[in-house]
Chains A and B, each alone.
Chain A
Amino acid sequence: MEARTAARAPGRSGRVPAWVLGAVPLALIAVALAAFAALGGPGLGERKGPPVEDLAFERTVLEPGKIELTVRNDGPDDVTIAQAIVNDSYADFAAGDRKLGHLEATKVSIDYHWVEGDAYTVQLLTSTGATSEHEIPVAVETPNPDLGFYGLMALLGIYVGIVPITLGMLWLPFVRRIDPRWLRVLMAVTVGLLGFLAIDATLEGIDVAGQGSQALGGASLVFLGGLVAYLVLSGVEAWLEGRRGKAEGAARGGHVAMLVAIAIGLHNLGEGLAIGSAYAVGALALGAFLVIGFALHNTTEGLAIVAPVAQRPPGMGRLIMLGLIAGGPAILGAWIGASAFNSSLAAFLLGAGAGAIVQVIQQLAPSVRDRAGRLLHPASVAGMLAGFAVLYVTSLLISV
C-alpha cells in the first residue's frame, strides 16, 4: 500500500502531504456552506405554504391532578404551544420554553383532575391553530420512581431474566451426555428459538418506534440498531478469534456461548423495557401468571447459551457470569422502561437485540451442519421448527 502511494506521489502532487489533499475539499465545502448561509440561500426564496407543525408525544406521566407530557417538535418549523385541551376542555398548564425549535423537547404539565381508568385525549393547540393529539387509553397514576419501585423492577427482572435463564442452563449436564447427532438437533432448536426472538424484537421495535418522534428516525432506528449490534458483535468475534489464533473447539464454543449470552442479554434489555414501560402505564398485571410465562419462555434461552459449550464445559464461575450477562439486562431494561421510557431509544435497543441475535445465529450455524456440511437437513429443520413452536406457544402467555 505504502509502496504504491510512494511510487505515484512524485508524478501527481509533489510533496503535499496526503492529509492536506483530504482536507481541501472539506474546507471548501465548509466555506461554500458558510457563504450560502451568510447570503441567506440566494435564489431560493421563501418556502410556499403555511408552517409545517408536527409534535411527537414521547412520555406521559400522570400524577393526581396533573398530566405531564414530554413533547418533541418533530417538524421542520418552530412551534409555539398556545393552549391545551383535555377531553374537549381547555385546561391550565405550565410549559418550559414556549417556542420549540426543530427536535427540541419540552414538558407540558397540565392541571387536570383526571379519573383513574378513564380515557383521555389531549390536544395541544399551537399559535397557528394547528392541533396535535395524544391518546391516554387508560389513565393510571405513574409509579413514583423511589427505592421500593426500583426494588420491585429489579425483582421482576430477576424473576423473568436471571432465574429462568440460569435454570435453563442446568441442561448442561444433559447436553454433555447426548449423541453429537442429537446435539446438532438441539443447536437447531436454539437457532429456531433465536430466530423467533429476532422477529419478535423487530416487530416490537417497529411498533414502539411508531409511538414517538419520527424525525429522530422512527422505525429506521430498529434496523440501525440491528445493524450496529450485528457489526459490533462481528467485530468482537473477529477480535476474539484473532487473539486466540485458530481456536480449537472448546475455546470457540466458549466465545460462541459468550456471544449468545450477550445477544440474549440485549434481547432481554428490550424485554425489560417492555415490561417496565407497560408497568408504568398500568397496562401490566404483575401476576404470577406473567412471571410463570416469562420463566417458561426464557428458560429456553438458557439452553441456547449452554448448547455451544457442551463438549468442554467452562467452570461454575463462568457459567454464572454467562447467566448474568444474558439475564441481568432485564433488570436494567425494566428500570429504564418504567422511569425514563423513550420510544426512539427503545426502538434502537430492540433493533440491537435483533441484530445481535442474527449475528449469533450465524455463529451457531456451523454446529448445526451435518457430516455432509448441510445446514438444512431434516433433523435441523425439525429442530428449528420445534424452537419456533416452543417460543410461539410460551409467548402467548406473556403478551405485554
Chain B
Amino acid sequence: MHGAMGSSGASAHHAAVANHPGFRSGARVDHAANGFNPTEMLRDFDHGRTTRLASGRTLREWELIAIDKEVEVAPGVKFPAWTYNGRIPGPALRAREGERLRIRFGNGSEHPHTIHFHGIHPSSMDGVPGIGAGVIAPGKSVTYEFEAEPFGLHLYHCHVQPLAEHIARGMYGAFVIDPRDERPAADELLMVMNGFDTNFDLSNEVYAVNTVGFAYMDEPVRVRRNELVRIYLVNVLEFDPVNSFHVHANFFHYHPTGTSLEPTELTDTVMQCQGQRGILELRFPFTGKYMFHAHQSEFAQLGWMGLFEVVD
C-alpha cells in the first residue's frame, strides 16, 4: 500500500492519494472534547498510588468511576458510551507481580456495573453478578482487593448482563502485571483493539486501536530506529469473533498473554479472540512510515489501520 515504502521516502500524506484509507478528508475527532487522546494513551500507564504494608509488601491502589459519556469515535460521529474514568479504554492499570492491589469502584453511571479482572483471585473479588458484592447499583461503590498474579498482560471489564452491550459500550481496560524482574528497557506502547456499534445493530461501524478510528493514520505512532519497542496488545472487540494485528515490513516476537519471557513466535501477524492479549517486541531497522492494521481487511477499511513513523 502507498505511504508504506519505508526509507525510499514516500512521504506524501495519505490524504493526497485518491481513495486513501480514512474518513472524510479534513474532518478530525475533537480529542479535547473526548477528554483523551489516542496518541497520549499509547504510553499512558496508570501505576496508581502505593503504600508499604506492615508486612513490607507494597499496596497499590486505584479509584475507578463508571461514567456515562458521549465519545466521538469517528470524525463527527458521537457514541453514547459507558466508561471507566471517562475514557475508552479505561486506565491501563499497571502493577508488579506479588503486590497487594486495591481498586475502589464507584458507579457514577445510570446503569449497574462491576469490574471483573482477569487474574488469579478469590471468587468474592471476581466482579460478577450474584457473587461477592455482585452488581454495583448506580450511586453505590465497592472495593476489590487481591494479589497481582500472574505476571503478564491482562484486562478488566464490566460483567453485568447483557455482557456484550456493557463491553461494547466501552467498559474495559488493560491490566498489566510486570514480572518481579524487570523486562529489558523498551519504548512501551499500549494498544487496545476495540470497535463501536454506533447504530446498535449488533455489528460494528467503527474499528480502532484505542477507540478513535484511523487515529494513527492522521497522527502516526513515532518510534526510534533500532530501539526496542514493546507493544501491549489487547483485544476487546465485541460482535466479531476475532481480531488481528499485522505490521508492515517488520517482524515481532510474540509472547501470548505476556506470561512467559520467552516468545513463542517470530511473525508479522497475530490473531486474538475477545479477551486474548499478548506482548509484541520488535526493533524497526529502517526509518520511514510502516502501516499496521487488522489483517481482516474489512476492519482495516473501517478504521483499524495506522502508521508507525520510524525516526532516527
Known contacts A92-B22, A92-B25; is-contact A82 B301 (Cβ 8 Å): no
**Stretch from B69-77, B93-101, B254-262 forming part of the interface with A:** B69-77
Check if A85 is an interface residue, CB within 8 A of chain B.
yes
Q: Mark A92-120, 1 if CB is under 8 A from B, else 0.
A: 11000000000000000001110000000
Check if A320 is an interface residue, CB within 8 A of chain B.
no
* Nearest opposing residue in chain A for B201, CB measure: A131
Known contacts A83-B74, A90-B301, A125-B77; is-contact A130 B214 (Cβ 8 Å): no
Q: Assess whether B205 is in contact with A85, with CB atoms less than 8 Å apart.
A: yes
Known contacts A111-B19, A129-B199; is-contact A90 B302 (Cβ 8 Å): yes
Q: Assess whether B199 is in contact with A130, with CB atoms less than 8 Å apart.
A: yes
Check if B34 is an interface residue, CB within 8 A of chain A.
no
List chain B residues, Cβ under 8 A from A128: 77-78, 198
Checking A80, A113, A131 against B76 with a beta-carbon cut-off of 8 angstroms, the contacting residue is: A80
C-alpha gap A100/B213 in the complex (Å): 25
List chain B residues, Cβ under 8 A from A129: 73, 77-79, 196, 198-199, 205
The secondary structure that dominates the B interface is loop
Check if A89 is an interface residue, CB within 8 A of chain B.
yes
- Expressed in whole angstroms, the minimum distance between the Cβ of B40 and any Cβ of chain A is 24
Cross-chain pair count, CB within 8 angstroms: 77
- Expressed in whole angstroms, the minimum distance between the Cβ of B296 and any Cβ of chain A is 10
- Expressed in whole angstroms, the minimum distance between the Cβ of A94 and any Cβ of chain B is 8
Check if B90 is an interface residue, CB within 8 A of chain A.
no
Check if A46 is an interface residue, CB within 8 A of chain B.
no
Check if B121 is an interface residue, CB within 8 A of chain A.
no
Known contacts A92-B22, A93-B24; is-contact A85 B302 (Cβ 8 Å): yes
User: 8 Å CB contacts to B: which residues of A126-148?
Assistant: 126-131
User: 8 Å CB contacts to B: which residues of A39-82?
Assistant: 65, 80, 82
Interface band, chain B:
20 to 34
Q: Mark B18-53, 1 if CB is under 8 A from A, else 0.
A: 111111110100000000000000000000000000
- Expressed in whole angstroms, the minimum distance between the Cβ of A241 and any Cβ of chain B is 59
C-alpha gap A125/B298 in the complex (Å): 17
List chain B residues, Cβ under 8 A from A123: 205
Q: Assess whether B199 is in contact with A90, with CB atoms less than 8 Å apart.
A: no
Known contacts A83-B24, A90-B23, A91-B19; is-contact A127 B76 (Cβ 8 Å): yes
- Expressed in whole angstroms, the minimum distance between the Cβ of A63 and any Cβ of chain B is 13
Known contacts A83-B23, A90-B21, A113-B19; is-contact A125 B301 (Cβ 8 Å): no
List chain B residues, Cβ under 8 A from A131: 198-199, 201, 205
C-alpha gap A83/B22 in the complex (Å): 10
Check if A88 is an interface residue, CB within 8 A of chain B.
yes
* Nearest opposing residue in chain B for A53, CB measure: B199
User: 8 Å CB contacts to A: which residues of B100-157?
Assistant: none
Check if B306 is an interface residue, CB within 8 A of chain A.
no
Checking A88, A92, A112, A113 against B302 with a beta-carbon cut-off of 8 angstroms, the contacting residue is: A88
C-alpha gap A343/B10 in the complex (Å): 47
* Nearest opposing residue in chain A for B197, CB measure: A129
Checking B21, B77, B196, B298 against A83 with a beta-carbon cut-off of 8 angstroms, the contacting residue is: B77
Check if A345 is an interface residue, CB within 8 A of chain B.
no
Q: Assess whether B75 is in contact with A83, with CB atoms less than 8 Å apart.
A: yes
Residues of chain B having any CB pair with chain A under 8 Å:
15, 18-25, 27, 73-79, 196, 198-199, 201, 205, 213-214, 298, 301-303
A–B complex contacts, Cβ < 8 Å, 28 sampled: A65-B18, A82-B74, A82-B76, A82-B77, A83-B24, A83-B74, A83-B76, A83-B77, A84-B24, A89-B298, A89-B301, A90-B21, A90-B213, A90-B301, A92-B15, A92-B20, A92-B24, A92-B25, A112-B19, A113-B19, A123-B205, A125-B77, A125-B199, A126-B77, A127-B76, A128-B78, A129-B196, A129-B205
New A-B pairs, 16, CB < 8 Å, besides A65-B18, A90-B24, A90-B213? A82-B24, A82-B77, A83-B23, A83-B24, A83-B76, A88-B301, A90-B21, A90-B214, A111-B18, A111-B19, A112-B19, A123-B205, A127-B77, A129-B78, A130-B199, A131-B199
Residues of chain A having any CB pair with chain B under 8 Å:
65, 80, 82-85, 88-93, 111-113, 123, 125-131
